[in-house]
């Protein structure tokens, strides 16, 4: 597949076969920031030869060196093969969730059980290593008896709403 006559792109299934991992592993690595595939208008992931090379390196690190996914991403960032892309929203949500849990004197286990997620996943969310879905955030908000919007930084929501009749007209 060649969008706009550029470099050839590969679909996730083809890449998975070339790398020797399942598509779900590639999506998991993507969620940690290992790759940033191009997307079609219908949201299909498209990978370049450079992406395949990077994913093969990640597979090597997992199989030969025994590293887990976050360790692989961290090592490749230090080697300069993966760009650091701090996810400010995830960090703010994770910190807020941890704060709510600690204030209530709870361990990870009862909160995770109430939200229907694993303890490890909740821990990863709190450490901003993983992002939670809206559904998970809703269940956590229900457990903490709060609104999902309380998980987000108030500074982010401080943008003023401009109604159509309040818009400034720009003249050229």
pLDDT of residue 113: 95
Instruction: Return the pLDDT at 134.
Output: 86
| pLDDT band at 156; cut points 50, 70, 90 | very low
What one-character DSSP code corresponds to residue 162?
Answer: -
> Which residue is it, tokens 């290593």?
129
Side-chain-facing half-sphere of 17: CA atoms under 13 Å: 4
pTM for the full predicted model: 0.49
Tokens of 7: 């470099």
Domains (range + CATH), the chain:
3-78 (1.10.1660.10), 88-157 (1.10.260.40)
Q: What is the pLDDT of residue 87?
A: 53
**With contact defined as beta carbons under 8 Å apart, do 97 and 125 qualify?**
yes
Look at residue 104 in the predicted model and tell me its pLDDT: 93
Chain centroid to Cα 81, Å, comes to 18
Structure tokens at 92: 């703010």
**Does the structure show a pLDDT above 60 at 150?**
yes
- Evaluate if residue 138 carries a pLDDT over 80: yes
Mean pLDDT of the 51-76 span = 90
Per the prediction, the chain carries an average pLDDT of: 83
Confidence of residue 4 (pLDDT cuts 50, 70, 90): low
Distances (CA, A) of 34 to 69, 120, 137: 9, 20, 24
Which has more confidence, 77 or 89? 77
Answer yes or no: is pLDDT of 30 > 90. no
User: Rounded to whole angstroms, what are the CA distances from 9 to 17, 21, 34, 121, 164?
Assistant: 14, 18, 17, 32, 42
CA gap 97, 91 in Å, rounded? 10
Residues in the chain: 172
What pLDDT is recorded for position 91?
65
Q: What is the pLDDT of residue 7?
A: 64
Q: How far apart are CA 129 and CA 138, in angstroms?
A: 19
For residue 122, CA distances in Å to 12, 17, 68, 73, 112 come to: 28, 31, 17, 20, 6
Cβ distance 26 to 35 under 8 Å? yes
Higher pLDDT: 62 or 73? It is: 62
Say how far apart CA 110 and CA 102 lie, in whole Å.
12
For 75: left if phi > 0, alpha if psi spans -120 to 50, otherwise beta; the answer is alpha
């Amino acid at each position: 597949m060649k969008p706009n006559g550029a470099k050839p792109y590969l679909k996730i299934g083809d890449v998975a076969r070339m790398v020797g991992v399942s598509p779900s592993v590639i999506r998991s690595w993507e969620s940690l920031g290992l790759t940033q595939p191009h997307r079609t208008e219908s949201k299909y992931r498209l990978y370049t030869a450079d992406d395949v090379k990077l994913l093969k390196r990640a597979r090597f690190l997992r199989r030969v060196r025994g590293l887990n996914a976050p360790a692989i991403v961290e090592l490749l960032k230090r080697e300069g093969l993966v760009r650091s892309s701090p996810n400010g929203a995830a960090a703010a949500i994770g910190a807020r969730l941890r704060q709510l849990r600690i204030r209530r004197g709870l361990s990870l286990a009862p909160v995770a059980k109430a939200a229907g997620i694993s303890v490890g996943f909740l821990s990863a969310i709190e450490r901003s290593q993983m992002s939670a879905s809206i559904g998970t955030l809703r269940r956590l908000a229900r457990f903490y008896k709060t609104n999902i919007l309380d998980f987000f930084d108030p500074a982010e929501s401080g943008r003023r709403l401009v109604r159509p009749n309040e818009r400034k007209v720009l003249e050229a």
